[in-house]
Structure 1
Amino acid sequence: MANTLDTPKDELILQSQQKMEQFLSLPQWSTREKLALSCRILFDAGHDSGLAGQITARAGEPGTYYTQQLGLGFDEITASNLLLVDEDLNRLDGAGMPNPANRFHTWVYRRYPDIQCIIHTHPFHVATLSMLEKPLVISHMDTTPLFDDCAFLDKWPGIPVGNSEGQMISEALANKRCLFLAHHGLLVTGRTVEEALMLAHLFERAARMQLVAMAAGNIQPIDESLAKEAHDWTSTPKRHQAFFAYYARRTLRKHSDCLQ
């Protein structure tokens, strides 16, 4: 016999979140392993753009972070071939060199101390939408983690290898988790690697949906209060971890070498 049919929605949400904490048992990976898995997940999701794009995560010592080697595609990243660098992009551990465009990551990390991971890619639909100089529109429940959480930089500052570009990008982020860069691509941040991965994955899906919807007609807005509710429902550490674990399982069936 049902006992919850008169239970208010906010109480049902709280109960569900408590059960997630209790019953969702998820793998424990190192930061290096999560970055390698993220690269392979993003590659399979269409974020490949040759050697463009970077992923970083803070390392143990202040002012240091992990990133991939310049010259390797996302499909070639393993836990063992990642680099450890400082804020000036000097290599502290590993072989090769980091992407010089990582400089803007330093600016973001210094401005927002809670951010632990940054993903920047040029996936096809995001890059295509970026040419229209229009913001990302969130109008479907699947992409509500991005609702009111994506800033827009409407002018391209050029290649992000200088300090002025880093300052512009870090300021444009404006305490949101995501940034859409006109004529460029996406930038997402997370307090965990799992959070950043989820946002990057959904960003490309949202751009693809927007382009298709624009071709079919006028995009209709969704109710802001309900979108905020959905945003908060999916924006919890346990949901991020579960999302990440699902795509990691899919990736490991094809890319078992990434945890070397």
Structure 2
Amino acid sequence: MTATTLGDSKQVLMQRALDALSSHVQDSLLTTRQKLALTCRALFDAGHDSGLAGQITARAEKPGTYYTQQLGLGFDEITDANLLLVDEDLNVLDGQGMANPANRFHSWIYRARPDVQCIVHTHPFHVAALSMLEVPLQVSQMDMAPLYDDCAFLPDWPGVPVGNEEGEIISAALGDKKAILLAHHGHVVAGASVEEACSLAMLIERAAKLQLAAMAAGTIAELPPRLAREAHDWTLRPKRSQANFAYYARRALVRHPDALTGDQPNNH
């Protein structure tokens, strides 16, 4: 059979691939609670656990409310059933126990960014190590392109983020970016969906690990801006995030079948 696309331009081929993605990658049938529980388990397996530190939240159905984990439970203990529903003041509307007081800055981000549906804040090893150097995340490798020019940097540590001051500082420093590296702390990912937030959280830890390794070996060379922007826009698409998340969800369910307590759809 004779090939018919070898003379097509890159733009034509990219559009064809996007059309195929739309046809073949299905929207998840999981609930927000289920996605959040699987995100907790997937990120635990990826080294994002730091005892009880860190929070992963997602907007709930009622405006001004969101789901989060119960203080006292690790990411590897989160299920769709033990998540809390809280308001912006962290009052528990549904569930047992209390929310982490550090969730307060999530309320500030959700207020400032109507486009954000899910926030991941963790202290993974390599992100935490990079944060100690007080240098921004430097994206200089193709796989990390979704974070290119989309990761802010907060150079000054505001202390324990349980006050409104920290909420104002962190949300302002994040601006319109998808992520932020917090000096002497960790990172925040602000995703347009749970799928996107999970995918970017996976990437930011790997990006920090790569950066530390590259810095130890020499000087990091910058990506060509035009090509880096093209790669960013190509990889940071909803369908790609959905495909990534479906893989992470399948893997998490194999390792943590207790994460989902109710009926599970065939399509993750």
TM tier, shorter chain?
over 0.9
Confirm or deny that 1:227 pairs with 2:228: yes
- 1:103-182 aligned within 5 A: 103-182=104-183
Give % identity. Answer: 65
Aligned residue pairs: how many?
Answer: 260
1:184 matched residue in structure 2: 185
Question: How far has the Cα of 1:27 moved from its partner?
Answer: 4.0
Matched position secondary structure for 1:65: strand
Question: How far has the Cα of 1:26 moved from its partner?
Answer: 5.3
1:239 matched residue in structure 2: 240
1:60 matched residue in structure 2: 61
User: d(CA) in 2 for partners of 1:189 and 1:76?
Assistant: 23
- Whether the 8 Å CA contact 2:68–2:83 is kept in 1: the answer is yes
- Whether the 8 Å CA contact 1:36–1:258 is kept in 2: the answer is yes
Residue type of the alignment partner of 2:170 = I
User: d(CA) in 1 for partners of 2:221 and 2:192?
Assistant: 31
2:38 matched residue in structure 1: 37
User: d(CA) in 2 for partners of 1:45 and 1:59?
Assistant: 25
User: d(CA) in 1 for partners of 2:70 and 2:59?
Assistant: 16
- Whether the 8 Å CA contact 1:26–1:245 is kept in 2: the answer is no
- Structure 2 residue runs of 5 or longer lacking an equivalent are 262-268
Single out whichever of 128-137 and 228-237 deviates more from structure 2. Answer: 228-237
Confirm or deny that 1:209 pairs with 2:210: yes
User: d(CA) in 1 for partners of 2:73 and 2:38?
Assistant: 15
Question: How far has the Cα of 1:204 moved from its partner?
Answer: 0.1
Question: How far has the Cα of 1:259 moved from its partner?
Answer: 0.6
**TM-score (normalised: structure 2):** 0.96
User: d(CA) in 2 for partners of 1:52 and 1:175?
Assistant: 25
Question: How far has the Cα of 1:246 moved from its partner?
Answer: 0.6
1:83 matched residue in structure 2: 84
2:21 matched residue in structure 1: 20
User: d(CA) in 2 for partners of 1:102 and 1:117?
Assistant: 12
Question: How far has the Cα of 1:24 moved from its partner?
Answer: 2.2
Confirm or deny that 1:69 pairs with 2:70: yes
Residue type of the alignment partner of 2:156 = K
2:200 matched residue in structure 1: 199
User: d(CA) in 2 for partners of 1:87 and 1:223?
Assistant: 41
Question: How far has the Cα of 1:25 moved from its partner?
Answer: 3.4
User: d(CA) in 1 for partners of 2:111 and 2:253?
Assistant: 33
- Whether the 8 Å CA contact 1:68–1:77 is kept in 2: the answer is yes
Question: How far has the Cα of 1:103 moved from its partner?
Answer: 0.2
Question: How far has the Cα of 1:7 moved from its partner?
Answer: 1.0
User: d(CA) in 2 for partners of 1:218 and 1:24?
Assistant: 39
**TM-score (normalised: structure 1):** 0.99
User: d(CA) in 2 for partners of 1:254 and 1:170?
Assistant: 34
Deviation string 1:19-50 (CA, Å, 9 cap, x unpaired) is 01112235410000000000000000000100
- Whether the 8 Å CA contact 2:104–2:164 is kept in 1: the answer is yes
Question: How far has the Cα of 1:217 moved from its partner?
Answer: 1.2
Residue type of the alignment partner of 2:75 = F
Residue type of the alignment partner of 2:31 = S
Residue type of the alignment partner of 1:215 = A
- Whether the 8 Å CA contact 1:26–1:242 is kept in 2: the answer is no
- Whether the 8 Å CA contact 2:121–2:186 is kept in 1: the answer is yes
Deviation string 1:95-127 (CA, Å, 9 cap, x unpaired) is 000000000000000011111110000000000
2:264 matched residue in structure 1: none
Question: How far has the Cα of 1:168 moved from its partner?
Answer: 0.4
| Structure 1 runs, 4 residues or longer, greater than 4 Å off | none
Question: How far has the Cα of 1:4 moved from its partner?
Answer: 1.2
Matched position secondary structure for 1:47: coil
User: d(CA) in 2 for partners of 1:134 and 1:172?
Assistant: 15
- Whether the 8 Å CA contact 2:25–2:242 is kept in 1: the answer is no
